[in-house]
Amino acid sequence: MTAADSLRPSPLARIRPDVQAMHAYAVQDAAGLVKLDAMENPHTLPPALRAVLGQRLGEVAVNRYPGPNVDQLKRALHDYAQPPEGWSLMLGNGSDELISLLAMACDVPGATVMAPVPGFVMYAFSAQLQGLGFHGVPLTPDFELDEPAMLAAIAQHRPAILYLAYPNNPTGTLWNADAIARLIDAQGAQGGLVVMDEAYQPFAAASWIDRARAEPARHAHVLIMRTLSKFGLAGVRLGYLLGDAALVAQIDKVRPPYNVSVLNAECALFALENEAVFAAQAQDIRAQRASLFEALAQLPGVHAYPSEGNMILVRITAQGGRADDQAAARVWDGMKARGVLIKNVSKMHPMLANCLRLTVGTAAENAQQIAALQASL
C-alpha cells in the first residue's frame, strides 16, 4: 500500500451510519441438525409430485422475462383467497419485500409505522431503512393487545401504517377480534392503513378476510398480507398483498418490474393446483402442535404460551426459586449439542426474557425436540 492509498477516504464512509451500526439478519447453520428454528413446513412434496414439478419447471421459458404465468398466478391466488368484491392483489418476493414496498410507498415527511411488540422484526427494520419513524406498543404480560395503549398511540402518532399480525410472531397469539376491529376503526378515522399480516393463516382458527368480506366498506383502508412460505414453499419466496383495487394499484407502482421469477410463479401455481396436499400437511401440523403442547405441559420449568401458528413460545422458568437470566441460552446450547436447532428469542425484546421459540415439526422431529429440551433443562 502506498502513502497515497493510506490517505484515500474509505468507501465505507458512503454507507449510512445507521446501516453500519445494524446487525445483519442472522441465518443459523443447520447442517447436521434437526432444523426447527425458522417455522418452516417440515413436510416435503410426495415423490410423485416432485417428479411432475421437476418436469414442469424444465419446460418454463427461463430465457423470457416473467409474464403470462405471473398473471395466471395472481388470478389463482385471488380465487384461492376469495377477497371482497373490488379487491385485487400484488405479488412480492416474500412478505419481506411487500413490507419494504409499503414503507417506500408511504414515505412522506413525518410518516411513521406502528406495531405491537414483541412482533415481526421486519416492520421496524423496513421503517428504519426507509427513514420512517417506528412506534412499538408493548403487549400485555400474557402477550395480548394492550388496546387502551394502542388507541392512545394511534391518536398521538397518527401512523401511516399499523401492522397487526394475525397470529403474531414470535408469540403465536391470535388477538381478540373485537379489539382489532376497534383499532382498525381508529386507524381508519385518522386516514392510516392497517396491514393484517396473515403469514401463519394455514394454522390459525380464523382469518381476517372473513370480516373484510362481511364489512367491505369498513375495511377499505385494510390490506391483508399473506405468504406461501408457511403454506409449504419457504424456498420459493412468494408473498401477496390483498386490498381495495385502487389502493393496491398505488402501492404496486413502487414494485420493481419482474420481482417474481417465472420459476417461483410456476412452483406457486403448481402448489395451488395441489392445494389438498398442502391442506393435509397443515392439518397434520395443527395436530402435532396439540401433541407438542401436551408434552410441554409435563416438563417442569417450562411455560408454554397458547399458539395459533406453527410455533410455540416457551419461557424457561427459574429453578429452585432463584433468578437466572441465562437459563434459555443454556437450554438452547444444550438442545443444539443434542442435534436440535431452535430459536433463542430471549434477546429480541425485554418481554421475551428467557424465551425460546419451538417450531412444530413432524411427529419424529417433535419427539427429538422434547427429548432434547428435557435433557437440557
Please give the backbone phi and psi of residue 301, each rounded to the nearest 5 degrees, phi first.
Answer: 85, 10
3-state secondary structure of 30: coil
pLDDT for 322 = 53
Start-to-end CA span in the chain (Å): 54
Spatial separation of the C-alpha atoms in residues 127 and 108, rounded to whole Å = 12
pLDDT at 4: 66
pLDDT computed for residue 59 by the predictor: 96
User: What's the confidence (pLDDT) of residue 72?
Assistant: 96
> Can you say whether the dihedral through the CA atoms of 205, 210, 214, 218 is positive or negative?
positive
Distance CA 223, CA 197 (A): 8
Q: Rounded to whole angstroms, how far apart are CA atoms 122 and 310?
A: 19
Asked if 83 and 213 count as a contact pair (C-beta separation under 8 A), the reply is yes
Reported as a single tens digit per residue, the pLDDT across 180-230 is: 999 999 999 999 999 999 999 999 999 999 999 999 999 999 999 999 998
The confidence score (pLDDT) of residue 353 equals 95
The answer to whether the Cα torsion of 240, 244, 249, 251 is positive or negative is: negative
- Residue 43's CB: how many other CB atoms inside 10 A? 16
CB 224 within 8 A of CB 204: no
> Of the candidates 305, 296, 376, 308, which has an alpha carbon nearest to the alpha carbon of residue 345?
305
CATH superfamily of 3-46+276-376: Aspartate Aminotransferase, domain 1 (3.90.1150.10)
Element containing residue 246 per DSSP (H, E): helix 245-252
Read off the DSSP letter of residue 232: I
pLDDT at position 158 is 98
For residue 212, the model assigns a pLDDT of 98
Cα separation, 135 vs 157, whole angstroms: 8
pLDDT in the model for residue 319: 61
For position 8, what pLDDT does the model report?
83
pLDDT at 1: 61
How far is the C-alpha of 340 from the C-alpha of 43, rounded, in Å?
A: 17
Topology match between the domains 3-46+276-376 and 65-273: no
Q: Which residues of the chain have pLDDT under 50?
A: 321
* pLDDT of amino acid 323: 54
CATH architecture under which domain 65-273 falls? 3-Layer(aba) Sandwich (3.40)
Note whether 272 and 75 are within 8 A (CB).
no
Domain boundaries, the chain: 3-46+276-376, 65-273
DSSP-derived letter for residue 315 is E
